[in-house]
Amino acid sequence: MVVSALRTEVTRRDAPASETADALVVFGITGDLARRMTIPALYRLTEQGLLGCSVIGVGRRPLPREELLRHATDAVHTAVRDVDEAVLGKLLERLDYIGGDAEDAPLYDRLRDALGQATMPVFYLATPPAMFLEVAEELAAAGLVGRGRLVVEKPFGTDLHSARELNRKLTEIFPEERLFRIDHFLGKEPVQDIMYLRFANALFEPLWHREHVESIQITLAEDFGVEGRGSFYEGVGAMRDVLQNHLLQVLALIAMEPPSGDHDAIPRRRADVFRAMPAADPANAVRGQYGGYREVEGVAPDSDTETFVAVRLEIESWRWAGVPVLVRAGKALPVTATEAVVRLQRVPQIQFGSHRLDCPGHDDIVLRIGRNAGVTIGLRAKTPGREVSQPVSLDLDFAEELGEPPQPYERLLADALRGDGTLFPRWEVIEETWRIVQPLIEHPPRLETYAPGTWGPKSADALAARYGGWREPRVEPG
């Protein structure tokens, strides 16, 4: 198979022991994110022998340690199919809990006592973004920063201005090299596989540029709405939730030049892609809201929040000049799937004697980065008994061929604990991605309504019409 080298092991220098965390503090450990992602990831790291420090959970309400242990046990049993009780026991032994308001100074006094002799703590904020700065300032006031690292979730800011202001204040407390911004898409194994697919297989690189590629498409589709999350989503919308972060990060891996040099090589190459991108033009964007969204609890009855966004972008580089980049994301669409499509140029019709070879349609290289992760390569073959071609495909399912991958938070927390920032977006990348989407925030396109179960507003189809239309993703199994 052409992608046999896809996950070839890369030799990499582990962080020196002096940079490995000796304590992990999880703010918001009783919240939904910690229950679904953080605690199961800590179990898997314990299983692999990668969690070598104590874990201190911080939450708003007073909580006996026994109740925290029950909470952690339930979270692990919900997320993990076959739980090793001995491994779970090792994790529970490491857990402790401190309760109190994040703005309460005595909370940080108790945290100092719990940290003991730890000199390299990691403070992970599984909290709403509005708390990032407040917690960081309280940590600094309590003298707990030291050589520690701060890990925060997305979104980092709500627009270009707020992101710059947040970054200015946070980096006064935690310097850039000790500020880790999570974008969990970069922790997905199939997303990392994009780079390996490109650079570990000689087949692809000669085709991966403007002379052979007609367009790039990225689709993030979800067949469900925002029920139960209306209050959160109402203040975010599709542009802030997935376009500015997840989907642009995927694009950078598709479009970047081969990395080389030191450990900063991949972040530098990702940043180069964004620097080459003009800001989005609202005239080349579509916003939609599915019918019924305004009836969801927590949503304003006259809400202007988009649940669908589609945009045509450009990369003004030698490799990609003139190649349109089409990105769309939405809720209440026909399927749940995440795919990136590199659409190759159509071949010309050829004639020889009385024979004519016509190849309608397009051949796509499809990178599936959702639950059914894999690669599909479109080809043309002769139809038996006829002198015409028909599309066929070479298909690889990553899990079937390569085994189940680690989960995103498992990888990202392990990297944060050892001080490896490769998979965490640097400030220069965050700033550029906000710059790209800022015109859509300042001058949002008119909001159009679409029916649940459809592919968004009809006007979104016009963005891709000249380039063969949107490719409909494969349905992901539940």
**Which residues carry out catalysis?**
246
In 161-205 the beta strands, taken as DSSP E runs, fall at 179-181
β-sheet with 285-290: strand ranges across = 389-397, 374-382, 364-368, 337-344, 213-221, 325-330, 308-313, 285-290, 447-450
Single-letter amino acid code for the residue at 367: L
Q: How far is Cα 31 from Cα 128, in angstroms, rounded to an integer?
A: 10
Tokens of 374: 């894999």
Tokens of 24: 């992990």
CB count, 10 Å around CB of 448? 16
Q: Contact, 200 vs 264, CB < 8 A?
A: no
User: What are the start-end ranges of the H helices in 55-131?
Assistant: 65-79, 85-94, 105-115
Q: How far is Cα 326 from Cα 289, in angstroms, rounded to an integer?
A: 19
- Among 328, 335, 182, which residue's Cα sits nearest to residue 242? 328
For the chain, report the end-to-end CA distance as a whole number of angstroms: 27
Tell whether the torsion through CA atoms of 408, 402, 371 and 461 is positive or negative: positive
Which residue carries 């089409």 as its tokens? 326
Distance of CA 102 to the CA centre of its chain: 27
* Most distant CA atoms of the chain, gap in Å: 88
Which residue carries 């795919």 as its tokens? 339
Which residue carries 């490109």 as its tokens? 198
CB count, 10 Å around CB of 23? 23
Q: Contact, 364 vs 357, CB < 8 A?
A: no
DSSP state of 183: -
DSSP state of 466: T
Q: How far is Cα 281 from Cα 383, in angstroms, rounded to an integer?
A: 43
Region for 339 from its dihedrals, namely left if φ exceeds 0, alpha if ψ lies in -120 to 50, beta otherwise: beta
DSSP state of 407: P
- Among 69, 77, 90, 65, which residue's Cα sits nearest to residue 36? 77
DSSP state of 22: S
Q: What is the dihedral of CA 29, 30, 32, 35, to 10 degrees?
A: 70
